[in-house]
Amino acid sequence: MDTVKNVVRVGIADMKIVKAPQKIRTSSLGSCVGVVLYDETTKIAGLVHVMLPDSSLGRLESFNRAKFADTGIYSLVELLKKEGVNPNSLKAKIAGGAQMFQFGSKDTIRIGPQILKRSSWSLADYQSLSLQKIQVDQEGVQLSLTRYRLN
């Protein structure tokens, strides 16, 4: 049974890190993408809930780095490094990016697949990462990480 203090919840356009035995969770992904990075050696994990694909969509000089795939993933890696994690030992799990909205037969908003693609590109910058993608449908998905293992 999960106790409240052992489950760290990550909101939309947010990122957090945990250490075992804590668990980390986000929900309501839909077109958003959840990226979990973890190190089995140190038992430290982080999760970023990304809303948009690229920080070039940001309008201000100061913006929420967790909101965008490119800056969110980079910032999460930097946070994990400050906790002593070696980026070469990280594994990744990614979920979300559903095609949520369709209007007519030709006009579609493809923000979910764009976020998923940009997230994959950002993770590719860390070539040693082991990556697992989780398929999602239009209903969205909840992503949580328990025991820091890929299934």
**Tens digits of per-residue pLDDT, 70-89?**
999 999 999 999 999 998 88
How far is 37 from 123, CA to CA, in rounded Å? 10
Q: Which residues are catalytic?
A: 32
User: What local confidence, expressed as pLDDT, does residue 128 receive?
Assistant: 65
115: domain range? 4-137
User: What local confidence, expressed as pLDDT, does residue 127 receive?
Assistant: 63
Lowest mean pLDDT across 9-18, 22-31, 33-42, 55-64: 55-64
Structure tokens at 81: 């490094």
Q: Is residue 147 part of a domain?
A: no
Find where tokens 């919840």 sit: 9
CATH number of the domain at 51, please: 3.30.1330.200
- Say how many domains are in the chain: 1
User: What local confidence, expressed as pLDDT, does residue 76 receive?
Assistant: 96
User: What local confidence, expressed as pLDDT, does residue 150 receive?
Assistant: 34
Q: Is residue 41 part of a domain?
A: yes
Q: Is residue 85 part of a domain?
A: yes
